[in-house]
């Protein structure tokens, strides 16, 4: 792996996980030393993160992790709603029904509050199955961009057991609707899930001191 790719992957994971919080200053000298790369590959990594919208330039030599505010989250969910409801409809029409029936069973058996990491791994597999089912490279590329940002805001609901339990049930219904080929139900269940997710995230932000 190239040094710039390694630096990008490390910084991306740290930003998405919250290790590097919004507003964190990413000075070139400090980050080069910490990541064990020279400044050129670090700058390449930071440029990619800037293209992702995850960092912004505070000065020619100082980069800052992008903030998360309610306006950004509303805009993210506007795009997410359009993409994911369309993806759910297409998956119901084109997807492998047995695969989504199996995923629905896995969601039914999942206790997200007891094992949130396993739950998010299951969501990642569901997303991968959805991407494969829609058979539309343009749509899946757009979804990938949205998910890059979504990882950060999802953490806001991670410590809410009631929301996690509801999210499991919502994903189970989406998967079950796709499994029986019900396009309208798949899209509607996705709409309800996204509405509830957005409401929970905004409430978490309001409760944060």
Nearest Cα residue to 150 out of 89, 198, 204: 198
Residue 15 · residue 152 · CB < 8 Å: yes
The structural domains of the chain, ordered by start, are: 3-65 (1.10.10.10), 70-207 (1.20.120.530)
Q: What pLDDT, on a 0 to 100 scale, did the predictor assign at position 158?
A: 60
Per-residue pLDDT of the chain (209 residues; tens, 9 = 90+): 788 999 999 999 899 888 888 889 998 888 888 989 998 998 899 999 998 889 998 877 778 998 888 888 999 999 999 999 999 999 999 999 999 999 999 999 999 888 888 888 999 999 999 999 999 999 999 999 898 888 888 775 566 788 889 999 999 999 999 999 999 999 999 999 999 999 988 888 776 65
Q: What pLDDT, on a 0 to 100 scale, did the predictor assign at position 17?
A: 81
Q: What pLDDT, on a 0 to 100 scale, did the predictor assign at position 209?
A: 54
Q: What pLDDT, on a 0 to 100 scale, did the predictor assign at position 84?
A: 97
> 3-state DSSP call for residue 68?
coil
Query: Angle, nearest 10°, between helix axes 39-52 and 137-154?
Result: 100
> 3-state DSSP call for residue 23?
coil
**Cα distance between residue 204 and residue 209, in whole Å:** 10
For 56, list phi and psi in degrees, rounded to 5.
Answer: -135, 155
Q: What pLDDT, on a 0 to 100 scale, did the predictor assign at position 193?
A: 97
Residue 194 · residue 80 · CB < 8 Å: yes
pLDDT in tens, 142-154: 999 898 888 888 7
Half-sphere exposure in the Cβ direction for 208 (13 Å, CA): 13
């Amino acid at each position: 792996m190239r040094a710039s790719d390694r630096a990008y992957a490390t910084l991306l994971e740290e930003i998405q996980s919250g290790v590097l919080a919004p507003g964190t200053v990413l000075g070139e000298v400090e980050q080069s030393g910490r990541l064990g790369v020279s400044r050129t590959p670090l700058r390449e990594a930071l440029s990619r993160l800037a293209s992702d919208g995850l960092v912004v330039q505070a000065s020619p030599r100082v980069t800052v992790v992008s903030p998360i505010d309610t306006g950004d989250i509303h805009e993210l969910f506007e795009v997410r709603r359009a993409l994911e409801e369309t993806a759910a409809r297409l998956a119901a029409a084109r997807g492998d029904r047995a695969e989504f029936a199996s995923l629905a069973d896995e969601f039914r058996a999942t206790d997200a509050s007891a094992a949130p990491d396993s739950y998010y791994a299951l969501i990642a597999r569901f997303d991968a199955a959805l991407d494969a089912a829609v058979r539309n490279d343009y749509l899946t590329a757009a979804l990938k961009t949205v998910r890059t940002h979504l990882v950060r805001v999802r953490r806001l609901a991670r410590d809410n057991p009631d929301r996690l339990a509801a999210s499991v049930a919502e994903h189970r219904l989406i998967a079950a609707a796709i499994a029986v080929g019900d396009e309208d139900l798949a899209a509607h269940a996705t709409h309800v899930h996204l509405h509830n997710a957005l409401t929970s995230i905004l409430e978490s932000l309001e409760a944060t001191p």
